[in-house]
Structure 1
């Protein structure tokens, strides 16, 4: 007799790039995937459609700020795993909307964890933390034990959510993990993010004499990686015997300027098309940050060895092919 039970996973924030790639990964592994969104607008399905998996996802509307709604959904599906990717995730927007950012990014996590504690304590929970939490670091690379000095409302909210997860793990014995993902990109990234903006605009305007690429501070350095590989680490974290927190990153940082230079060179665009727009500068910014991915590789068996310039070449090619199809 076959007693195999189909695993059920919730993915909040399923409409983002990570939600789409994680959905694809879990479907390949035989999961039943429930996508949690604030509303079922068709735009929330676009990234899933681009991966041809939208028909295999069950979508549910849920206000994560309403714990009764969260409890009702958990009671309905009794999931084995919850991947919480939902957040107001723009650092720049968080300066304009600090109350909304901090409120949603903390209370939503608290409601999910409290619902797990009350309804089904054996659910395994993944929280999408962020490298922005560390902010002003004095020693690199960043490890999971690096002191946090957040420099934006977004970073403050993510740090608070991070420690809420730790508290529920230590206080209630819930299997809850934080994945501290450094910047990670893909073709499905929204155009409001730096790398996608650079590639998207440059591919479409490389022959436009009136176009210029407007950017803010591009002499800062960041640790960039590739989203489809990073979601594998999320899944691996919930398969371990014991819950823990991990840094997921490439282990190297590069300047934003070097990314623009690489894209411009690849598409034969002169550097004089670049304009520094002081309206795009942030009140505070991190000069340089990169992480230590060795614990994720040794303890989880996660594999990642891509150069970000390889990733950029792939993303440029995908953008060109997409444009050619239109």
Structure 2
């Protein structure tokens, strides 16, 4: 059975705050560690009331400090928001504190709206400089050379696995060119998944960091004790998705009984296309769905995200999904 990992957005629900979200994040990471999940990734988003993982490196340190063996990382750091040197220093620090447990996934989108992107980095040039920035960042993790004018301290000579994240052929091509592991955002933008995977595997160039291609796919999983309950829990993510597309992001809403009354037909079609990589149901349904997904796409690893309202229900979902790892 391939490894399963967890993607967390540190959700802030309508009845909670960031402090509770962080407690829930650490609790879920500890559960994931006990259940055998390989890694626990947190995603950088800004100006989103329902997502508390904006200071991603800080939260990674919190999770790594509260766990023992599970890998902890960024899925990802949005590199256009940061100077590569600062990212290398932050993750060099994390890797020095928690050796052998820190991952760095990089994305080329700002992870927010344009006004917030300008507030994050006033000289933001867009994603066009992403390949150059990735190479610069990778260089800071190489052993420092005599006379090198700028080095990452800590960071130089420290082993930090670097992934490229994306939802397009651009990211797949760059991952292959640089010989890096690739994580595809199929959990919210699956349209180019098959083509991107094929391109990445076909064009992969072995590197000192990675001898052969390694691809991880994101997938939404909502598992519950019945199909009916799982579908109801999933309405939280469906509402949040529609709210975002309406330009009204907010706190994570509770589930509702009639999702059909919530959206318009065009919104429903858009949501179904964006969240097509979703497995929702009881333990049997989820295991069948995940098995079929893996058989069709042959990922090297699955990155599971579960965005439901109640923390107990989220824990239960990951427990049921982990049963497939045990069964395998």
* Interval containing the TM-score (normalised by the shorter chain): 0.3 to 0.5
Give the TM-score, by structure 1 length.
0.37
**Higher normalized contact order (CA 8 Å, seq sep 6+, divided by chain length):** 2
Give the TM-score, by structure 2 length.
0.37
